[in-house]
Chains A and B, each alone.
Chain A
Amino acid sequence: MKALLVFEYRRGKLTEGNSELIDFAAGLCAQCAGVLIGEESALPAFEGKLYLGDIAVCKEYGPELHADIILQAAQKENPDYIIFTHAPYGWDLAPRVAAKLKAAQISEITGLSDGKFEVGCCSGKMRRLVRPATPRAVLTLQEGAFPFTGKAGGTPEVEKLVPTGTGSGPELAGFKEAEKHGLDLSGAEVIVSAGRGVGKKDNIPVIAELAAALKGEMGASRPVVDAGWLEHTRQVGATGQVVSPKLYVACGISGAIQHLSGMRNSEFIVAINKDKEAPISEIADVMVITDLMPFVAALTAQLKKI
């Protein structure tokens, strides 16, 4: 079995998900080759062939030219699997590569079972076991789903590739930095976060009062920030801040993977939710199943008496 790993390089560095790809391929017992649009000064550490497209020519974002290089590498290696991380780079490129190869794409892989793939669905509440109906498949790997062993190492053998086409389509015009975090949640000992279950903006001050009673900071899940109920600087998760307080109180947060990846290392997690099966129950130390707002008000009132 052969795997072609698609590494990602952004703004002068390899991105973090790259080593997980190498570990996942080891789990598949696949022989590995890699492909990277990047620079020779920063190569992923593994033993095997690495096809390198020049970033000065292909640019950091340019789906046509990136797909061009990946397809050339696939032609040379004839892999069973072409593997991306399930993240913006993979979301953008994997379907294009799969379409060009007329191959199945399996998204958001969370596990392996007997040559079949387990994928997440229904906001993390359910799983599907799927297999490709095509001779080869494009896979995107859920980040953090497979243990990172850190065992991979070595120096790949580089073969340079030049794009065959000129590349029309979207062109990169620049980057915008993340909003400067006026507020650093990473040092907070207690974080009380509001999620969609809070119901409306008018309820935010009630959550803020609980945060104050616990002498903590207030955080938020993405839907609350998107709705404009709280500022982005308070967002916890993959597109916000990564936190590990002594106590994390999740108020009406179901626990999308993006949110969990930002707070799963909290020392103690209390989640208040109406849905006993919400994905946050997987990592919560205490799951309180009740109506959120009356409970938060009662908890705040009792804390103030201590």
Chain B
Amino acid sequence: MKILVCAKQIPDLASKLGPDTANLWLDETDLPFQINEYDEYAVEEAVKLKEQRGAEPTELTVLSVGPPRVLEMLKKALAMGCDRGVHIEDDESSTKDPWQIASLIAAYAEKENFDIIFTGMQSQDRGSAQVGPTLAEALGYACATTVIAFGLEGGVITAERELEGGARSVVKLKPPAVITCELGLNTPRYPTLPNIMKARKKPIAVLKSAELGVESPRLITEKFYAPVRKGGGLVLEGEAAGLAGKVIEILKERTTVLRG
């Protein structure tokens, strides 16, 4: 069986964020990067599936589209248990729309005949939730989205999809299939030191996006900016003890919860 997991590297969104000089995306200077959390669940689920298959031949590939910095994330995925990496090198991936990214992945994947492709349900930075199902459409694969429980038995995938209010729908589908992973699907492992060492010997193939063929965009970004802040809330800064006293004064004044 051949399994692919697609992962994106994203900036740490708790950092201070601001637009680049073109006002089209983030100024990436000094931003730390990390694996998109949804994709971390996807990597873990793919590794778990490989482990469950035991002696059955299984090859697990991890793929990412982006500039050279994504190699660091691919190495992490290899240390988590993927067998080999594919880096679709593209310094301008952040300017590409979901259709273009999905098409690049499809151009690579259609020659590989993967049985199951895992990816995050969305990225935390763009949040379009499009790449997984668009990739499935391009490859003609079945697709289950927002998956919070996954199993493969007798050649049939059973997936639970998370719906509003915590309810789930249970769906069945057959490989080849794309599975988009929700947060909480599993508990992603920390790579151990021996596995980090082992991962150094695992191969990472580098392809240029231009070689795969870049489609024309379907979406144009005109501007990237911080939202207008409506919240006129009070902002308090300082050291803990002093702030605690202030907050208690405010609660006494503006709420009834400290009375009686």
- Seen from chain A, the residues whose Cβ lies within 8 Å of a Cβ on chain B are 10, 15, 60-61, 63, 86-88, 91-92, 94-96, 98-100, 102-108, 116, 120-123, 125-134, 140, 168-179, 189-190, 214-216, 222-223, 225-228, 232, 235, 238-240, 246-247, 254, 267-270, 274-278, 281-291, 294-295, 297-299, 301-303, 306
Contact = CB atoms under 8 A, between A and B. Distances in A.
A304 to B, nearest CB: 11
Interface string B228-252: 0111011111111101110110110
A242 to B, nearest CB: 9
* For the complex of A and B, 5 pairs with smallest distance between CB atoms: A178-B166, A99-B137, A95-B133, A226-B184, A104-B218
Dominant secondary structure of chain B at its interface with chain A: mixed
B229 A295 contact: no
B235 A276 contact: yes
B237 A130 contact: no
Contacts of B219: 104-106, 130-133
Interface in B9-59: 11, 13-14, 16-17, 19, 26
Contacts of B14: 254, 274-275, 278
B216 interface: yes
Nearest to B146: A88
A294 B231 CA distance: 26
Contacts of B68: none
B247 A299 contact: yes
Dominant secondary structure of chain A at its interface with chain B: mixed
A175 B257 CA distance: 40
Contacts, number: 264
Contacts of B254: 268, 285
> Size range of the interface on B?
35 or more
Nearest to A280: B231
Interface hub of A133, A189, A254 (most chain B Cβ within 10 A): A133
Contacts of B170: 172-176
Contact of B248 (A121, A276, A278, A302): A302
B121 A91 contact: yes
A238 B13 CA distance: 21
Interface hub of A100, A120, A125 (most chain B Cβ within 10 A): A125
Contacts of B227: 125-127, 282
A211 B257 CA distance: 12
Contacts of A303: 248, 258
